[in-house]
Structure 1
Amino acid sequence: MVIRSRFQRYKEPCFYRIVSAKPEMDTGRPHMDEDNMKGKILVEQVFRGKNYGVIDISRVAYKTDFRLIHKHEEAKYLQAYENCTPPETKIFPPTVEMPPLLKILAEREGHPSKILKLRIGNNHSLCRIAKDGEKPTVDISIGLGTPLSPQLYEGLL
């Protein structure tokens, strides 16, 4: 079982369980892979408390942020996975208001619309766009919000 350092920032358990590792080793071509960096590695991936099944991580296995989990620590990760409830999916509105500068540019160009369609990439399992008649759970508002030091903005228009 291994973990990646970059995934330790999540409170949900993230780890890989190695299913098979086949190093390329010597394929008849001398000095092609002296450091034994190439090969095929299949792992069972658990990311943020959700099991994504068996995947191939051969393309990223050379990175140095992997850490081997000791046998006595494996039970802690498996128990955290069993007791974990995956985070809820965030539902975003299908359209958002244009930012102020873009709105001014659109008016200059003569565009009638002042809204933008929101687009989320395909590989996001924790967020999606609201369907027709569905209420979004996330509100996107354009603005500066509440400043940390309001006294710096006193007297400004």
Structure 2
Amino acid sequence: MTTTLKYVGKPTSLVGKTLWEILGNLKDFGVGRIIVRNSQTTRYKEPCFMRVLEVKAQPNEVPPKFKIFRPPNDLRDKDRPRQVYALCEVVFRGVKMETLQLLQGESSVPDFQLIPKHLEKNYKFTKTEAQRKEENILPRYLEFPPFLKDILVKNGVKEPKLKTVDNPAIKSLYRVAKEGEEPTRKFESGFDATKCPKLYEGINYDI
């Protein structure tokens, strides 16, 4: 008699173990070892890995005294994977980050894999974060959409320019060009002539 398995629900893209399942079974909690996230290695061609520098285990969360109804896939109580603090040196898409990354909440996600010691020599970074930023210099100003640009011109703005603003709180491998500096990345508005001119026949463009 053959048994047929039928999976119900959305399939997960996570394949691997939690970080504590790996580090908790290694000498010195795996300090100095290399780990990868399978979701990154399958998505990017460039090497993505982390070298563990410091580990601090966290106690298991105490389940509530009263019973709460949870769906079968809810792991917020006693079945929730154990978390761990892990300070890591990160290489993302071949770029070595300048600042260290602290893994905490994501350590309970079953997405990590340990790299054997004899394969660690294959994991190298190609560029530093500073070198990558120098290759990705954004222009200081971008073009307005044609409709908004026309409105600004009719309201007295001679040369409307959209200033490029970067968020310093977000880790990025891009930076905005300084005054007088030539950007290496150029962006076009993408608003060209329509491919279906018949859709706009008889329309008065005088706004």
Q: Give the TM-score taking structure 2 as reference length.
A: 0.56
Structure 2 portions without partners, runs of 5+: 1-33, 65-76, 201-207
Question: Which position in structure 2 is the counterpart of 1:67?
Answer: 113
Structure 2 distance, partners of 1:73, 1:146, is 53
1:132: how far off? 1.3
Aligned length: 145
**Identity over the aligned pairs, expressed in percent?**
30
Structure 1 distance, partners of 2:107, 2:174, is 27
Match of 1:38 among 71, 83, 87: 83
User: Do the aligned partners of 2:149 and 2:160 also contact (CA within 8 Å) in 1?
Assistant: yes
Aligned to 2:147, the other structure's residue is in SS state helix
Distance of aligned partners of 1:140 and 1:55 in 2 relative to their CA distance in 1, 3 Å threshold: closer
1:98: how far off? 0.3
Q: Deviations over 1:28-52 (max 9, x none)?
A: x854774452332222222233143
Aligned to 1:52, the other structure's residue is in SS state coil
User: Do the aligned partners of 1:89 and 1:125 also contact (CA within 8 Å) in 2?
Assistant: no
Structure 1 distance, partners of 2:140, 2:50, is 35
Q: Deviations over 1:76-129 (max 9, x none)?
A: 11xx33xx2354531111111101232245457x26252210112223442111
Q: Give the TM-score taking structure 1 as reference length.
A: 0.70
Structure 1 distance, partners of 2:143, 2:161, is 5
Structure 2 distance, partners of 1:102, 1:146, is 17
User: Do the aligned partners of 2:146 and 2:191 also contact (CA within 8 Å) in 1?
Assistant: no
User: Do the aligned partners of 1:93 and 1:138 also contact (CA within 8 Å) in 2?
Assistant: yes
1:2: how far off? 1.3
Question: Which position in structure 2 is the counterpart of 1:150?
Answer: none
Q: Does 1:10 align with 2:44?
A: yes
Structure 2 distance, partners of 1:25, 1:104, is 61
Question: Which position in structure 2 is the counterpart of 1:85?
Answer: 127
Q: Does 1:99 align with 2:99?
A: no
User: Do the aligned partners of 1:95 and 1:117 also contact (CA within 8 Å) in 2?
Assistant: yes
Structure 1 portions without partners, runs of 5+: 148-152
